[in-house]
Amino acid sequence: GRGGATLAAALAGLMLLLPAAVGARAYLERPLAERYGAYSFDLVAAARLAAAQPGTVVVLDDHRALVVRFLDAGLAVDVALPGTRLHPPPGTTVLARGRRTLATAVGADPAARAAVVERDPPGTPRLWATVSR
Protein backbone atom coordinates (compact mmCIF):
# COMPACT_ATOMS: atom_id res chain seq x y z
CA GLY A 1 0.00 0.00 0.00
CA ARG A 2 0.84 3.61 0.41
CA GLY A 3 2.90 3.06 3.58
CA GLY A 4 5.06 0.49 1.79
CA ALA A 5 5.80 2.90 -1.07
CA THR A 6 6.77 5.63 1.40
CA LEU A 7 9.02 3.23 3.28
CA ALA A 8 10.62 2.04 0.02
CA ALA A 9 11.24 5.64 -1.09
CA ALA A 10 12.76 6.52 2.27
CA LEU A 11 14.99 3.44 2.16
CA ALA A 12 16.11 4.22 -1.41
CA GLY A 13 16.91 7.79 -0.39
CA LEU A 14 18.94 6.57 2.57
CA MET A 15 20.85 4.14 0.37
CA LEU A 16 21.79 7.03 -1.94
CA LEU A 17 22.64 9.43 0.87
CA LEU A 18 24.75 7.06 2.95
CA PRO A 19 27.58 6.50 0.42
CA ALA A 20 27.68 10.23 -0.33
CA ALA A 21 27.99 11.06 3.35
CA VAL A 22 30.70 8.43 3.90
CA GLY A 23 32.64 9.70 0.85
CA ALA A 24 32.38 13.33 1.95
CA ARG A 25 33.56 12.44 5.44
CA ALA A 26 36.53 10.46 4.09
CA TYR A 27 37.47 13.37 1.82
CA LEU A 28 37.15 16.05 4.47
CA GLU A 29 39.07 14.07 7.10
CA ARG A 30 42.16 14.03 4.85
CA PRO A 31 44.64 16.80 5.66
CA LEU A 32 44.52 19.78 3.30
CA ALA A 33 48.03 19.00 2.06
CA GLU A 34 46.83 15.62 0.79
CA ARG A 35 43.74 17.13 -0.86
CA TYR A 36 45.64 19.98 -2.56
CA GLY A 37 47.21 18.07 -5.44
CA ALA A 38 44.21 15.89 -6.07
CA TYR A 39 41.84 18.83 -6.27
CA SER A 40 44.25 21.23 -8.01
CA PHE A 41 43.60 24.30 -5.92
CA ASP A 42 45.95 26.21 -8.23
CA LEU A 43 43.43 25.71 -11.04
CA VAL A 44 40.64 26.90 -8.76
CA ALA A 45 42.72 30.00 -8.00
CA ALA A 46 43.37 30.55 -11.72
CA ALA A 47 39.63 30.31 -12.43
CA ARG A 48 38.82 32.71 -9.58
CA LEU A 49 41.41 35.27 -10.71
CA ALA A 50 40.41 35.01 -14.38
CA ALA A 51 36.75 35.54 -13.44
CA ALA A 52 37.62 38.54 -11.25
CA GLN A 53 39.69 40.21 -13.98
CA PRO A 54 38.15 39.81 -17.44
CA GLY A 55 40.81 39.73 -20.13
CA THR A 56 43.24 37.72 -17.99
CA VAL A 57 45.18 35.15 -19.99
CA VAL A 58 45.82 31.78 -18.36
CA VAL A 59 48.70 29.68 -19.73
CA LEU A 60 47.65 26.04 -19.35
CA ASP A 61 47.58 22.79 -21.27
CA ASP A 62 44.24 21.68 -22.71
CA HIS A 63 43.40 19.33 -19.84
CA ARG A 64 43.95 21.88 -17.08
CA ALA A 65 42.29 24.61 -19.17
CA LEU A 66 39.17 22.45 -19.25
CA VAL A 67 38.99 22.61 -15.45
CA VAL A 68 39.35 26.41 -15.45
CA ARG A 69 36.71 26.79 -18.17
CA PHE A 70 34.37 24.48 -16.25
CA LEU A 71 34.78 26.48 -13.05
CA ASP A 72 34.24 29.75 -14.94
CA ALA A 73 31.26 28.40 -16.88
CA GLY A 74 29.55 31.18 -18.75
CA LEU A 75 32.60 33.41 -18.80
CA ALA A 76 35.05 33.78 -21.65
CA VAL A 77 38.40 32.64 -20.31
CA ASP A 78 41.43 33.39 -22.48
CA VAL A 79 43.74 30.37 -22.47
CA ALA A 80 47.10 30.03 -24.19
CA LEU A 81 49.00 26.77 -24.50
CA PRO A 82 52.40 26.53 -22.82
CA GLY A 83 55.13 27.42 -25.31
CA THR A 84 52.97 30.03 -27.02
CA ARG A 85 54.52 33.49 -27.29
CA LEU A 86 51.99 36.13 -26.23
CA HIS A 87 51.85 39.84 -27.00
CA PRO A 88 49.08 40.99 -24.66
CA PRO A 89 48.03 44.63 -24.51
CA PRO A 90 49.39 46.66 -21.59
CA GLY A 91 47.63 45.97 -18.32
CA THR A 92 46.76 42.37 -19.16
CA THR A 93 47.23 39.89 -16.33
CA VAL A 94 48.88 36.66 -17.41
CA LEU A 95 48.72 33.60 -15.12
CA ALA A 96 50.85 30.46 -15.30
CA ARG A 97 51.75 27.53 -13.09
CA GLY A 98 55.45 28.38 -13.29
CA ARG A 99 57.72 31.37 -13.78
CA ARG A 100 59.53 29.59 -16.61
CA THR A 101 56.21 29.12 -18.41
CA LEU A 102 55.55 32.84 -18.00
CA ALA A 103 59.01 33.67 -19.40
CA THR A 104 58.27 31.63 -22.51
CA ALA A 105 54.86 33.27 -22.89
CA VAL A 106 55.64 36.94 -22.22
CA GLY A 107 59.42 37.26 -21.91
CA ALA A 108 62.02 37.25 -19.17
CA ASP A 109 61.38 40.76 -17.80
CA PRO A 110 57.63 40.34 -17.19
CA ALA A 111 58.31 36.89 -15.72
CA ALA A 112 60.90 38.38 -13.36
CA ARG A 113 58.21 40.81 -12.12
CA ALA A 114 55.73 37.98 -11.57
CA ALA A 115 54.22 37.47 -8.15
CA VAL A 116 53.13 34.23 -6.54
CA VAL A 117 49.33 34.28 -6.27
CA GLU A 118 48.77 30.71 -5.02
CA ARG A 119 50.83 28.40 -2.84
CA ASP A 120 50.19 24.82 -1.80
CA PRO A 121 49.84 24.08 1.94
CA PRO A 122 53.61 23.55 2.48
CA GLY A 123 54.22 26.95 0.83
CA THR A 124 55.49 25.93 -2.61
CA PRO A 125 54.50 28.45 -5.31
CA ARG A 126 51.84 26.96 -7.61
CA LEU A 127 50.47 29.91 -9.58
CA TRP A 128 52.26 33.05 -10.79
CA ALA A 129 50.85 36.29 -12.19
CA THR A 130 52.39 39.17 -14.11
CA VAL A 131 50.89 42.25 -15.71
CA SER A 132 52.02 43.27 -19.17
CA ARG A 133 53.39 46.76 -19.69
Q: What is the pLDDT of residue 33?
A: 63
pTM over cut 0.85: no
Four-point Cα dihedral 120, 118, 39, 121, nearest 10? 20
Q: In terms of C-beta density within 10 A (0-12 exposed, 13-18 middle, 19 or more buried), how is residue 125 classed?
A: middle
Task: Return averaged pLDDT per consecutive 10 residues of the chain, 133 residues in all.
Answer: 82 85 72 63 92 94 89 86 96 96 96 95 93 93
- Residues facing residue 130 across a β-bridge: 94
Q: In terms of C-beta density within 10 A (0-12 exposed, 13-18 middle, 19 or more buried), how is residue 102 classed?
A: buried
